[in-house]
Each structure stands twice: as C-alpha cells, then as structure tokens.
Chains A and B, each alone.
Chain A
Amino acid sequence: MASVNAAPGGLTGFIDRGRKIELQFILMTILFACVAFVVLTPMWQILTQSFQVSKPGEAARWGFEGWKAVFTETSLQKAAWNTVTLSVTRQLFALTGAIFIAWLLARTDVPGRKIFEFVFWLAFFLPALTITLSWILVLDPQFGLLNQLLRGFKDGNGPFNIYSFAGIVWVHVMGTSLAVQVMILTPAFRNMNSAFEEASRISGASTMGTMVRIFIPLMMPVIVAVLMLSFLRSLEAFEIEQILGTPIGLYVFSTWIYDTLYQHIPRYDAVSALAIVMILLCTGLIFLQRRVVGKRQYTTVTGQFVSNPIRLGKWRIPTAVFLGFMCIIIVGVPMVFSVMGTFMKLFGFFIQDPWTLKQWETALKDRLLARAVGNTIVLAVSTAIVAIAVHSLIAYVIVRTRYVARSALDFLTWMPFTIPGIILSLGLLTMFLQPQFRPLYGTMPTLVIALVISGMPFAVQIMKSNLMQISKDLEEASFVSGGNWFHTYRRVVLPLISPTLVVIGVISFISSARNISQVALLSNTSIRPMSIMQLDYIAEGKYEVAAVIATILLFMSVILALVARVFGFRGVGSNQ
C-alpha cells in the first residue's frame, strides 16, 4: 500500500461555526413551509369560501346560506344518500368477492394462480373511464352487445341498463374495487401461518368451514383496513358516476359539486360547505380505521412459518375456470372493447360491415386531440419529475434527519389522503382565483401541483419504507471513508434508491395521465389533457374519438405498469 494518508481537505483549522446546521435547518424549513402551504391553503380556501355568499364578481359578503343549503336542499340530500348507498352496495359485493379470490390465490393450489394474481395486479392500472366506455359497449340498453344478443338483434331495449344504480355498482366493482382489494389482500393472506388452518382441519372442520371460522376472523384487521380504504375511495369516486349517473339525474357528492360549479351561477358557498363535510367524513373514517386496526396486532405472522396450500381436489379445475372468467371480465372486456370501439363506424352499432379505420384517421388528424396528447405528455412528465424530487426529499427528511418538525411533516404529507380529488381541485381553483395567484390560473403548473399533492401520501410512503430498509451504516461508512455529503448521496444513496425513484416516477406518470377528478376543475381548453378531453367527448356523445383516447391511455398505462413491475413495484399493500 502506498501512503495516501492525506484526507481530502485537512484536519487542522476546521472550525464549525454551526453554519452547516443552520443552512440544513433553513432548507428543511423551506421545504416544510412549501408542503404546508400547498396542502393547507386549498383547505383554508374552501373553509372561507363556504361562508362567502356573494355571487362571482360581486363584493365579498359573508353568511351561512351555503351551509344552510347543505342541510336543507333536497337535491343534495339525495346526492348524499346516493353516495352512501352506492358505496355500501359496492363494498358489499367487492369485498366478498375480493376475500374469496384473494384466499383462492394465496391459500389454495388452484392452477395458474401466479398468472391470475398478475392479471388482477394489472387490472389495478386500467383507467376507470376506459373501463366505463367498454362496459357501455356491452351493456348500453339500446346498442350494448349483450343486450342486442339477448333480444336477438331486434329493436328496443335489452334487459340490462348500464345507466342505473346497478350499472354504476357493476362498473365500480369490476373496474376498480375488486382489483385493488385483491391486490392488497393476497400478499397479506399469503403471510399467514398455515398451521392455524391445519389445526382447524384436524379438529374436523371442512375447507369452507375453516375459511369462515378461522381464516376470516384471523385476517379481520387487514380486511377492515381494506374496507375502510375502499370506502374512502368510493366516497370520492367521480368519473364513473359522472358518465353513468348524470344522464339519469343520479348524483353523488362529487358529481353534484362538479355540476353545481358548471351551472350559470356557480354556487361556491354550498359546494365548499359540502366539501368540508366530506373532508371531515373521510378524516373520521381514517381515524376509525386506525383505531380498529390498532387494537389488534398481526400476531398471525411470525418469523418462521410454513404456508402449505390447501388442496382443492375436484374443485381445482372449476375454480381455475371461475378465476379465468373473472380475469376476462375485469381485464379482457376493457381491453377488447375499447380497441374494438375504435374500429367501429358507429360506436356500439354491430351492423353489417361495422368496421372502419376512419376513427383513427380522424382522431390522428384532430388538432384538439394532438394538443391533448401533447398536454398529457407535458403534464405527466413534469408531474413525474417533480414527484420524484419532492417526495423523495420529504421522505429523506422524515426518515433520516433529526429535523424538529419531521413528524408534523409526516402528518402533512398524509393529509391529502383525506381530501377527495374533486375537492382538492376545487380548493386549488379557489386559491388560483385569488388575485395574488391569478397569473397561474389556467396554466400547466396548477395541474402539476394538484397531481403532485394527490400523489404525495402514496409516494412518500413507499419512499419512506425504502429508505428505512437501507441501513444508515451504509451512508456512515461512506462518511468515515472520506466521502462528503454529495459523494455519499451520488455514489451510495442514489444507486440504492433509484429503483424506487423509477417506480414513483412511473406511477406518477400513469396516475397523472389518466387522472380526472384532481384536474377536472383546473383545466381549460388550452391545457386540457387527454383524460379530461375523453370525459368531455363522452358527455357530448362523441364516443368514437373518446374510444381512441381510451385505447391510447389504456395501453400506455399497461405498458408503464409493466415497467414499474420490472423495477420492483408489486403492490400498494406489500411495501415491495
């Protein structure tokens, strides 16, 4: 070994005036202030707006009319009732189905379970609007394929009508709830020690009896958690209700807010008051979930265990057929019908010689669509870049530093989870209508801000768990070896977290590209992304172009989801 004793720099004369700590502290405080500002301002705006009863353009006037409307107006009470009944019905079907399917995938020897699990995972990434459009093709009362088949291609309506309470429930269960619940429950179910079930079997219980008496009670904490999460998400559901409910006058909270704002005289006060009720409701649900789950520990998962699959015997093949059928419904239908729709002369009309390439030609020449594609790419790329930078920084401050306000920061990043998308959109809209932010109104950065906020809870969470898995020793070893902060970050930290950064980027990209409710109120024609254009076109009955957009968004989501999977993203519940 040649002598290389000189440290970079030198030992003597190194005086710490405390400046470094102060600089770090200032930077972290700036970050904290920014997060607090973007998270809290929209909520504050909504709160003040709910007491501001003057019409737009008039001088400010304060009053309680908005709040009165919330508690007296029948249309609103109907919307509230619809929201609750729709959510409950959906969860009833979705959770029952998801528990059963997740149990089959995790605990039994059903053939092809790996493939089925992958399909359910993939279904999580399909855009809700694309799914809705596909199901319209199948279940529209007049031209829906299934209805036409059942009535023998005669005129008139078939037995199914997608524009109904049942239709909304169906699309939600098959399109959103089932996939996400299976995705969270399956890994949790798999981690249970099978000795619990085997003990029940030896005691004389059947497979089904064991599932009902032993398995479900043991898994109750995770089931309750999933139920609460799904219920929360269903309170803020927007686009499916907007497409399928609004035409028949069936409103929920979110669509009522949207439509009330698009009337001749927008009623900001009533909408804001309702928004506050919804935020309180969601926050209450989260605390309820934390209490329920907090009481019971996951004692079923121990360090060492065996997980022997349950033998299904003669039920193996029928079960596999059932799961295959489910996969066709949740992934096959959206994929096949959205593509099929783009090649039809008239959307849904399976007449003689119905096929054409004209839709693609028209769509690709459509300058509005070209602009929307451009907008979506700009929006999704900027959101992904900002999300990677901001969320990893926040997570780093929370996990790795001793910043005094780090737990407050943690709480702030979790808060957007309680804000329904349309309400975040409303809050930011109100904020950007204020004189001091007015120049930003109707620009792309407003959409990026909305999407970065809405993605914050999830992204910060996965980044935090990734950082916690990286031992601090790895960084300290670099410091001791002579590496300064920058070297250590570039050579040690960055290479180790980069797979997670890619996952955050890709997930942010997908969710911004297909996002509707967070940006619905903020976009205008010049910055309108594809997803909103699709919503507008469906509302106007331009199904053919909408189908083209749906197909583009669908395949973009699927391809990027697969990229995220390659970089280690397995699911929201498993923490990689």
Chain B
Amino acid sequence: MDDYILQLEGVTKIYGKARAVDSSSLQIKRGEVFTLLGPSGCGKTTTLRMVAGLERLDEGRVLYKGIPVADPANRIFVPPHKRNMGMVFQSYAIWPHMTVMENVGYPLRLRGVGGSQLRDQVAKVLELVGMSAMIDRPAPMLSGGQQQRVAICRAIIYEPELLLLDEPFSNLDAKLRNQMRVEVKLLQRRLGITVLFVTHDQIEALTLSDRIAVMSEGHIEQVGSPSEMYDNPATPFVRDFLGQTVVLKGKLSAGSDGRVGFAMTDGASRGTVLYSKKHTLKEVTQDADAFLSIRPEDIQVLPMAEGGLAENSLPGKIEALLFVGDRYEARVLLPDGASILLHLSRTGGWKEDQPVQLALPPERTHVWPA
C-alpha cells in the first residue's frame, strides 16, 4: 500500500440536475496539510462532507486508510460516527447546553472513557491551546476564538488520524485569524496529524498548506504545492484565483530561442512583440488570438530611458501615486487603455504623470490560448 491516508476516486455529488461535485479524484498523503480552495459554491465543502460521511456519494468512492468508507456502486457506506475522523465546523458547533469540559469530553465519553481519566485528558488537550483554566466554563460564555479552540480540542481529543477543517477561520476577525492560523500550523506539526482543510481564502491556503487543490464548479482545476500553483498555474481560473495577475490581449507571432512571441494588438503599443518562456498552448499557430499574463510583482518599473523602450518592455504612465509608508502604490496606465496597480520602491523619486517603462521578464510571463 502507498502512503495515502485518504483517496477520492471519481467522487460525484448530484443535487437535482446540478453536479455539485463532478468526478473528483484526490490523494492525500499521511501527515500533510491538504487544502481544498475555491470560491463559494465550487463544491469544496460538499467534498469535505462526503469525506466525513455527512453527505452520500452518488458516484465514485472514498478510501480511508486504504479501506472503502463510501462506495455506492458496492453499497458500502460507513456512517460518520464509525469513521473516526475529527472535524471542526465553520460555525464551530459548540453545544450551547454543555460546558467546555462536556463539549471536549463528548467523543471520549462515547469511547468509554469516564471519571477522572476523562477530565485529565480534557485538561491535557485544553492545555495545548492554552484553555485549561476554562474547563468548567459554560459554552455560551466563550468568545469566538475560544469557541474555535474548543472545537479544535473536541476534534483532536481522540487522536483521529485525519482532521477535517471547514472554513474554520472565517468567523474570526483579521487579527485573531492570523494568530489562529499559526496556532493550528504549530499544533499540526506537533501532533503529526493529517489535515484536510477547506477555505475560500487564498492567503490562508498558501500559508497553511503543503498541497492545494483548487476547485471550480465541482471540478478540480489543479493540485500542487502553494509555490507551484502560484508560479505555474495550469488554468486561467487558478491563475486569476490565486493572487493578482495582469493579463494582456494579443496574437501569437514568431518566437525565438524557444520563446513564444506575443504581439500586442490593442492601443498605442500595437505590434510590440513580447517574448515568453512559458505557455499553455496546444500548438503554436501564427496570428492565433492569445493572452499574456504576468504577476504584478514580477513587472520591473523603470523611468523611461532616452533611447526608447528596451526589449520585452511596454510603455506606461503613472496615473496616481499613493504613499503607503514602506512603498508607493501606483496606478499605471498601460498602452491598451487598462490600468494596473503596482508597488514601487520608496526611493525611486516617482511623480504622477511620469512616463515609465515596464519590463516583463520572459521567464516570468506566460502565454495562454484565447
């Protein structure tokens, strides 16, 4: 057997006529933090709930530790309470009629632990998140952050091998969210637990994950490490969903040195050719419509030189300049009429209305089919 703790094979969920999750396959390795990332309604939460057993599959199968836990074709379905996974809900689902002790101790009590042993174990797990002093506090008296810590404790107290997190940080304020992210990451490293994490927040996904699967409309668009996904997105959806992207419209033209040529077709730079080392074209056809993309932080902004534009550059003009302390934020007008937001160093001596040249390094740009 390989080292996959969880395998999804062609998993499908149908609501009425809509395929909320459409034959998705994933393999999650033991000990990694795996994130399902996508906009709301993309099927990521449904996928997580199918793993937990809270939703039934319509097609495909789920294997947990190599054993099928859901396989409609063979009429196999292990109900959630037999799967032995931990889960933290978006709403935390802290039972309001119980104390912290009762909430966290619930799974252990169901596993036959009682008395002082139960209390000791609850106290131990609460210590991990710095809440041991609140063991007897009634649930309605907890703040949002405390509720979340309790929810995490309840999910990990019986040492499940897989922890499912459903948008656990979305109900916290920005400051608390950053703090909890770090705490969860540290906790995961300490316990060596496998985490399947669902979020719509790209920063959360990039910072926490070992690997990410980006989902859109029930499909998995791409799976990879955060830096892979960011630097080499496989689809326009992934490119636009993760981080900022500048996209230019144009046509393919003659390349050189294994680089693809891309000619601008709109505005003042019409005919200017840019070269790119990366592309996702099936075949390179002259004059075919295409797009060229680059991350804004990869664009090098230089004052306009006397001798005109350097190779692989576009002219631009600073429309508005905002000083934000450690840098400038500039709105730069491109030759095709679009304007983009770029960060400029505070030492450049920039002015509004200043003409600039924007260098687009060939190893940083990417050509896409139209």
CB-CB < 8 A to B89: which residues of A?
473, 476-477
CB-CB < 8 A to B93: which residues of A?
471, 473-474, 476-477
Pick from A112-120, A260-268, A491-499 the stretch touching chain B. Answer: A491-499
Tell me if A108 is interfacial: C-beta within 8 Å of chain B. Answer: no
State A11–B151 Cα separation when bound (angstroms). 24
State A278–B118 Cα separation when bound (angstroms). 63
Evaluate contact between B158 and A4: CB separation under 8 angstroms. Answer: yes
Evaluate contact between A8 and B110: CB separation under 8 angstroms. Answer: yes
CB-CB < 8 A to A471: which residues of B?
91, 93
Query: Which residues in chain A, 1-45, are within 8 Å of chain B measured between CB atoms?
Result: 1-12, 14-18
Tell me if A483 is interfacial: C-beta within 8 Å of chain B. Answer: yes
* Closest residue on chain B to residue A16 by CB atoms: B77
CB-CB < 8 A to B77: which residues of A?
14, 16
Task: Evaluate whether A483 and B84 lie within 8 angstroms (CB atoms) in the complex, with A11-B64, A492-B95 already known.
Answer: no
Evaluate contact between A483 and B110: CB separation under 8 angstroms. Answer: yes
Evaluate contact between A477 and B154: CB separation under 8 angstroms. Answer: yes
A476 interface neighbour in B54, B82, B112, Cβ under 8 Å: B54
Tell me if B174 is interfacial: C-beta within 8 Å of chain A. Answer: no
The A interface is mostly helix, strand or loop, or mixed, namely: loop
CB-CB < 8 A to B117: which residues of A?
2
Query: Which residues in chain B, 53-92, are within 8 Å of chain A measured between CB atoms?
Result: 53-54, 64-65, 67, 69, 75-87, 89-92
Tell me if A575 is interfacial: C-beta within 8 Å of chain B. Answer: no
Tell me if B111 is interfacial: C-beta within 8 Å of chain A. Answer: yes
B67 interface neighbour in A8, A11, A17, A478, Cβ under 8 Å: A11
State A491–B157 Cα separation when bound (angstroms). 19
Q: How far is the CB of A347 from chain B (nearest CB, A)?
A: 51
CB-CB < 8 A to B79: which residues of A?
14, 479, 484
Evaluate contact between A478 and B106: CB separation under 8 angstroms. Answer: yes
Evaluate contact between B97 and A495: CB separation under 8 angstroms. Answer: yes
CB-CB < 8 A to B90: which residues of A?
473
CB-CB < 8 A to A496: which residues of B?
95-97
CB-CB < 8 A to A480: which residues of B?
52-54, 80-81, 83, 85-87, 155, 164
B82 interface neighbour in A10, A473, A487, Cβ under 8 Å: A10
Query: Which residues in chain A, 97-148, are within 8 Å of chain B measured between CB atoms?
Result: none
Task: Evaluate whether A1 and B125 lie within 8 angstroms (CB atoms) in the complex, with A471-B93, A474-B93, A477-B95 already known.
Answer: yes
State A9–B80 Cα separation when bound (angstroms). 12
Evaluate contact between A1 and B124: CB separation under 8 angstroms. Answer: yes
Evaluate contact between A15 and B75: CB separation under 8 angstroms. Answer: yes
Task: Evaluate whether A3 and B159 lie within 8 angstroms (CB atoms) in the complex, with A11-B69, A480-B81, A482-B81 already known.
Answer: yes
Tell me if B107 is interfacial: C-beta within 8 Å of chain A. Answer: yes
Annotate B154-173 by CB proximity to A: 1 below 8 A, 0 otherwise: 11011111001000000000
Tell me if B113 is interfacial: C-beta within 8 Å of chain A. Answer: yes
Q: How far is the CB of B50 from chain A (nearest CB, A)?
A: 13
Tell me if B121 is interfacial: C-beta within 8 Å of chain A. Answer: yes
Which interface residue of B52, B87, B151 has the most chain A CB atoms within 10 A? Answer: B87
CB-CB < 8 A to B154: which residues of A?
477, 481
A6 interface neighbour in B69, B111, B124, Cβ under 8 Å: B111
Evaluate contact between A487 and B86: CB separation under 8 angstroms. Answer: no
Q: How far is the CB of B121 from chain A (nearest CB, A)?
A: 6
Tell me if B108 is interfacial: C-beta within 8 Å of chain A. Answer: yes
CB-CB < 8 A to A477: which residues of B?
87, 89, 93, 95, 151, 154
* Closest residue on chain B to residue A2 by CB atoms: B121
Evaluate contact between B83 and A7: CB separation under 8 angstroms. Answer: yes
* Closest residue on chain B to residue A491 by CB atoms: B106
Evaluate contact between B158 and A483: CB separation under 8 angstroms. Answer: no
Evaluate contact between B82 and A5: CB separation under 8 angstroms. Answer: no
CB-CB < 8 A to A487: which residues of B?
81, 110
CB-CB < 8 A to A14: which residues of B?
69, 76-79, 82
A481 interface neighbour in B54, B65, B107, Cβ under 8 Å: B107
Evaluate contact between A5 and B158: CB separation under 8 angstroms. Answer: yes
Task: Evaluate whether A482 and B84 lie within 8 angstroms (CB atoms) in the complex, with A5-B158, A487-B110 already known.
Answer: yes
Evaluate contact between B81 and A483: CB separation under 8 angstroms. Answer: yes
State A496–B140 Cα separation when bound (angstroms). 13
CB-CB < 8 A to A474: which residues of B?
93, 95
Annotate B106-136 by CB proximity to A: 1 below 8 A, 0 otherwise: 1110111100010001001100000000000
A7 interface neighbour in B81, B124, B125, B151, Cβ under 8 Å: B81
Task: Evaluate whether A482 and B111 lie within 8 angstroms (CB atoms) in the complex, with A7-B81, A17-B75 already known.
Answer: yes
Q: How far is the CB of A144 from chain B (nearest CB, A)?
A: 53
B65 interface neighbour in A3, A8, A11, A17, Cβ under 8 Å: A11
Evaluate contact between A482 and B110: CB separation under 8 angstroms. Answer: yes
State A10–B121 Cα separation when bound (angstroms). 23
Annotate A499-526 by CB proximity to B: 1 below 8 A, 0 otherwise: 0000000000000000000000000000
Evaluate contact between B111 and A4: CB separation under 8 angstroms. Answer: yes
* Closest residue on chain A to residue B161 by CB atoms: A5
Evaluate contact between B76 and A15: CB separation under 8 angstroms. Answer: yes
Evaluate contact between B80 and A5: CB separation under 8 angstroms. Answer: no
CB-CB < 8 A to B108: which residues of A?
4
State A480–B54 Cα separation when bound (angstroms). 8
Q: How far is the CB of B135 from chain A (nearest CB, A)?
A: 15
State A12–B112 Cα separation when bound (angstroms). 20
Task: Evaluate whether A7 and B75 lie within 8 angstroms (CB atoms) in the complex, with A476-B93, A496-B96 already known.
Answer: no
Which interface residue of A12, A473, A484 has the most chain B CB atoms within 10 A? Answer: A473
State A487–B110 Cα separation when bound (angstroms). 9
Q: How far is the CB of A302 from chain B (nearest CB, A)?
A: 22
State A471–B107 Cα separation when bound (angstroms). 19
Query: Which residues in chain B, 295-328, are within 8 Å of chain A measured between CB atoms?
Result: none
Query: Which residues in chain A, 452-502, are within 8 Å of chain B measured between CB atoms?
Result: 471, 473-474, 476-484, 487, 491-492, 495-496
Evaluate contact between B107 and A482: CB separation under 8 angstroms. Answer: yes
A18 interface neighbour in B75, B82, B91, Cβ under 8 Å: B75
CB-CB < 8 A to B124: which residues of A?
1
Q: How far is the CB of A111 from chain B (nearest CB, A)?
A: 34
* Sample of 17 further A-B pairs with CB below 8 A, known A16-B78, A480-B87, A495-B97: A2-B117, A6-B84, A8-B81, A14-B78, A14-B79, A18-B75, A473-B90, A476-B93, A477-B89, A477-B95, A479-B80, A479-B81, A480-B54, A480-B83, A482-B82, A487-B81, A491-B106
- Residues of chain A having any CB pair with chain B under 8 Å: 1-12, 14-18, 471, 473-474, 476-484, 487, 491-492, 495-496
Which 3 residue pairs of A and B lie closest in terms of their CB atoms, listed nearest first? A473-B93, A16-B77, A477-B93
Jot down 19 A-B pairs with beta carbons below 8 A, ordered by A. Answer: A1-B124, A1-B157, A1-B159, A6-B84, A8-B111, A8-B112, A11-B78, A14-B79, A16-B75, A16-B76, A17-B75, A471-B91, A477-B87, A479-B53, A480-B80, A480-B155, A481-B107, A482-B111, A496-B95
